[in-house]
Amino acid sequence: MTVRDGLCADRVSRTLGGRLVLDGVSLAPSAGATVGLLGPNGSGKSTLLRLLAGVLAPTAGVVTLDGDLLDDVGRRAVARRIAVVEQHTDTQVPLTVLDVVRLGRIPHRKTWLPASAEDDEAVRDALEHAGLTDKVDRRWQTLSGGERQRVQIARALAQRPRELLLDEPTNHLDIQHQFDLLNLLVGLPVTTVVALHDLNLAAMYCDQLVVLDQGRVVAGGSPEDVLTEELIERVYGVRAVVTREPEGHPHVRFVRAAAPSRPGATVQ
């Protein structure tokens, strides 16, 4: 195995419930790149993100951080480097937006010591980036799904990570906030790995794409190389027309399948 800086997965596999959900997947993002994970539901995207975060251990293969096995780095050190935004997060504890975002500073603080000036600055910056400065006193339980997603993004940003892992972060967001969020992500000086369903958002914002199908990598490279009509039909089972936008990235237009005729229906 070649030793590489940053966060890398080398031929990782993972079995869950007796089923192989990842099969020999390798991923080595370039520093500062935004890598999009694509694939149908159940293709292994979320599992790969959890392996990269150290939440799950691979059944085979290794995950490394700057050449060291992730297990050897230590949870606190990993949490200082890697921030994770899950698809679904909830709590019954009566936390405010400010309380949740402050949680991102826990890996950087010594036990029982009050927040430092650096902690306060990181929290302020995160709230501002996520557009939440006017919601700091709102209770978590009163927030919409989209607002909760933005709070989780802010918590991750408060960690000031070097690697950021996000699982479907645009879910529950309206179109404007999808663009706002992805504009924010690509402008950060971090390495980002993000699972997405929207192929056009992935084409617009990601430097590299990795397509998973049934736990295996079936394509990887630039959006222009990866998003082809043939691959979309093979992986997603739908027809599409792929054109090139003036900015250079591909645009995917799906072709509506013909509706099945009803028994007994007549055509005039």
Between the CA atoms of 99, 104, 108 and 111, what dihedral angle is there, to the nearest 10 degrees?
Answer: 40
The whole-model pTM stands at: 0.89
- Position with higher pLDDT, 261 vs 83: 83
Of the candidates 189, 191, 170, the residue with the CA atom closest to the CA atom of residue 181: 170
Give the Cα separation of 77 and 121 in Å (integer): 21
Residue 263 has pLDDT above 70, yes or no: no
**Complete domains list, the chain, with CATH:** 7-254 (3.40.50.300)
- pLDDT at position 51 is 97
User: What type of residue is 188?
Assistant: L
What is the tens place of the pLDDT at every residue in 205-234? 999 999 999 999 999 999 999 999 999 999
- pLDDT at position 267 is 47
Give the Cα separation of 42 and 45 in Å (integer): 8
Average pLDDT over residues 121-140: 93
- pLDDT at position 70 is 93
What is the tens place of the pLDDT at every residue in 33-62? 999 999 999 999 999 999 999 999 999 999
Average pLDDT over residues 159-167: 95
User: What type of residue is 149?
Assistant: Q
pLDDT band at residue 261 using 50, 70 and 90 as cut-offs: low
pLDDT band at residue 265 using 50, 70 and 90 as cut-offs: low
Q: What angle, 0 to 180 degrees and rounded to 10, lies between the N-to-C axes of helices 145-158 and 117-129?
A: 140
- pLDDT at position 240 is 95
pLDDT band at residue 131 using 50, 70 and 90 as cut-offs: confident
